[in-house]
Amino acid sequence: MGVILSILGLVEPKLSLRPQKVVVGTVYGVQLTLAYLLNLLVSSFAVLMIVLLEFGTIPAVQQGFYCGDPLISHKYTGDTIHPVTLGLTAPALVIVMVLVTELLAHQSFRQINWHAVVFYVSEATVGATLTLLVTSIGKVLVGEHRPHFLTTCQPDTAENCSIGTFIETFTCKSTEFAPSFLVDSSLSFPSGHSSIAWYIGIFSAYVVHVRMTTVNSGYIMRPFLISFCLTWSMVCSLSRITDRRHHWWDVLAGTVLGIVFAAYTIKVMHEKIKENNVPICSICLEREVPFSGNGVNSRTNVGFEL
């Protein structure tokens, strides 16, 4: 009877068997587990797919266009936030925010919990990679032309066409830009700047919100840093509209995508923390909680207050 109730989930089994890690080999004395190899394999595949999608190795769907369409007739003026700039500032923002919260908690570099730093940065990296992968797949599947498509690509079939005529096939004859950039002129939806910027901004703001106390930082520092993270995301995304690199709906879609992936990543982190399967940071600063579940005053670790 007890076995049946245990199977139905009505009672807890006496023994809780946890799956054992499978070791597949050793390298320089370090054991390699099956989970590690699978993580490495999936990560490598995701990065490879992003590279193939972003550089046009995997061809995008070629959409037609209307002759003289004003939505895709803007001049190319460059990037206010260059992709390289975004690629450098995005991880820097996460790392800086995690380190700032650790420093304010421990008041010393020597006491920083580097396990917690690595945990948050690695979680942010995984989520950002998946965000970029889904964004790149969307670009290839949709194949939407950027606002500067006609001036950048200079389609051969658009020279003597009648205004308003729909053109299905074309070949870019521009020699001013690299071939990869001509391919990129038809990869507008969704905005990669927006998806990555809002993912990183929300994630960084979350780290500041749950890990920074007012004991040493005061009441202004936390909302200021959160506002800084969100403002950074807003500037990175809206600049794509003012630069005529994306349509407004591209930016909106990228924003939604980034927020969704940030929310999912945060949810996964909460589950890992609650299951104690990750190196939990033990921040030395704690604050009093008026009442706990049993009605008695208790203390809680503000570093992982969920």
- For residues 79-92, give the mean pLDDT: 97
Of 155, 186, 217, which residue constitutes the final position of a domain?
Answer: 186
Of 67, 21, 289, 96, the closest CA to residue 167 belongs to 67
pLDDT > 70 in the chain, percent? 80
| Together in a domain, 172 and 306 | no
What's the pLDDT at 134? Answer: 98
| Together in a domain, 231 and 131 | yes
Write down the mean pLDDT value for the chain. 84
| Together in a domain, 157 and 306 | no
The reply to whether 259 falls in a domain is: yes
| Together in a domain, 262 and 127 | yes
| Together in a domain, 89 and 233 | yes
To the question of pTM greater than 0.85 for the whole model, the response is: no
The reply to whether 131 falls in a domain is: yes
The reply to whether 49 falls in a domain is: no
- For residues 224-236, give the mean pLDDT: 97
- For residues 44-63, give the mean pLDDT: 91
Q: Is residue 47 over pLDDT 70?
A: yes
CA atoms within 13 A on the CB side of 144: 21
Q: Is residue 36 over pLDDT 60?
A: yes
- For residues 260-286, give the mean pLDDT: 71
The reply to whether 3 falls in a domain is: no
| Together in a domain, 253 and 155 | no
| Together in a domain, 178 and 93 | no
Tell me the residue range of the domain where 170 lies.
146-186
- For residues 251-278, give the mean pLDDT: 89
| Together in a domain, 304 and 228 | yes
The helix or strand, by DSSP H or E, that contains position 184, with its residue range, turns out to be helix 179-184
Instruction: Specify whether the CB–CB gap between 246 and 188 falls below 8 A.
Output: yes
- For residues 281-303, give the mean pLDDT: 38
| Together in a domain, 210 and 290 | yes
| Together in a domain, 237 and 203 | yes
